[in-house]
Amino acid sequence: MKKSTHRIIIVLLILCISVLLSIPGYISRVKSSKEAIGDSHDLWKTSDPIVQGVNPEYLKRADLHLSNTNACSFIVIRDGKIVFEKYYNGVDKTDITNTYSITKNIVAALIGMAIENQYIKSTEQKVSEFFPEYFGEGEDIDARKNELTIKHLLTMTSGFQENWSEWGEKQNRISYAINQPIKYPPGEKFQYANTAYHLLSGVLAKSAKKTTLAIAEESLFQPLGIKNKRWEADQQQYNTGYANLYLSPRDIARFGLLYLNNGMWEGKQIVPKSWVKESLQAHTYIDSEIPDTAKIGYGYNWFMQKIKGCTVYYVSSYGGQNLCIIPDMEAVVVITGIPGKPADQATFDFKNILEDYIIPAVKGSE
């Protein structure tokens, strides 16, 4: 009996030792699994600014400047690595914010992908083909609207005489956008109109027979690893093409890096290279009659100009939401702010930040 008890004890000890020995391997496998899964905030590589050829002193000065404003985030990326990242006013890297007009850049990218996938024929396709119910021959219809193309919407040359104060009251915003007065013939003049990009969101939804958010999720957000987001929709369930897409600052930076890399992400072509090139061309200018702005070009919601000898492509939107790519420097810059800033906080000038700190930070290290 005693021998039998001893054998049982020995077997139990062996089993316990085996289990204990296996635990480190199990922990290692779980850790590796978690690292492989990751999330949209853990996959970035960071680097010392000096290693990436960036003078950290300029970034510190920019940080000091922004810490006294309504800025919420400040991210600088060079050669695909984060060289500076700071958050302000109670915000951290997991928080999502209304990207406002950066939403338009996302919509423009989706239009290019829809053309590549043949949901849309080309940028010359007429808007009336997607919403024939709002076009036609009649005394209340301006015939010039029948000439309105996707490219006119992309380049803000629709000619719409927009009354933004009425927008929130409208139950059918697609109908309202199409029926608003035309001030200039389509294609004649740059005239910023939020309604143009809301129509583009409608075009996407009509062409693919799914919401713009569903299209973005499948073709853009999933490939980029963007998981935490929200996109508001109008009463007809068209996602708002002009604003109201909520992303984290890091995920805004992902989109910027995608365009910096000509639409490539981790070796895969996400946005057609030709579309990125077309998006970053000046199809029109803000106002060629004003000398100070004559050299600010406008692509597909990318503004472009020379700052300190570098060509910069940027979108600077309401509330201090800013995204900039600088191909000459292999750099991406994101600065976000508090929409509707508190009265006791100062705003910041994004282009001044680029001119005074970001560009010198790289040029000063070369």
pLDDT tens by residue, 326-356: 999 999 999 999 876 655 566 889 999 999 9
Please report where in the chains the tokens 């024929």 appear, as a residue. 121
Average pLDDT over residues 108-131: 97
pLDDT confidence tier of residue 17, bands split at 50, 70 and 90: very low
Final residue in a domain of this structure, among 193, 227, 247: 247
Q: Model confidence over 259-273: pLDDT tens digits?
A: 999 999 999 999 999
Average pLDDT over residues 45-68: 96
pLDDT confidence tier of residue 164, bands split at 50, 70 and 90: confident
Q: Which range, of 30-44, 209-223, 281-295, averages the lowest pLDDT?
A: 30-44
Q: State the CATH number of the domain containing residue 350.
A: 3.40.710.10
pLDDT confidence tier of residue 294, bands split at 50, 70 and 90: low
Closest CA to 204 of 187, 217, 186: 217
Is the domain of 243 the same as that of 105?
Answer: yes
Final residue in a domain of this structure, among 216, 247, 278: 247
Residue 225 scores a pLDDT above 70: yes
Q: Is 80 left (phi over 0), alpha (psi -120 to 50) or beta?
A: left
Is the domain of 82 the same as that of 195?
Answer: no
pLDDT for the residue numbered 137: 54
Residue 37 scores a pLDDT above 80: no
Tokens of 155: 């380049």
Cβ-based neighbours of 341, under 8 Å, separated by 6 or more: 70, 319, 320, 347
pLDDT confidence tier of residue 56, bands split at 50, 70 and 90: very high
Is the domain of 129 the same as that of 163?
Answer: yes
pLDDT for the residue numbered 286: 85
Q: What's the number of domains the chain is made of?
A: 2
Please report where in the chains the tokens 């109908």 appear, as a residue. 175
Final residue in a domain of this structure, among 221, 247, 273: 247
Is the domain of 262 the same as that of 222?
Answer: no
Is the domain of 196 the same as that of 288?
Answer: no
Which range of residues forms the domain containing residue 143? 101-247
Q: What is the pTM of this model?
A: 0.86
Identify the residue with better confidence: 46 or 140: 46
Average pLDDT over residues 230-237: 96
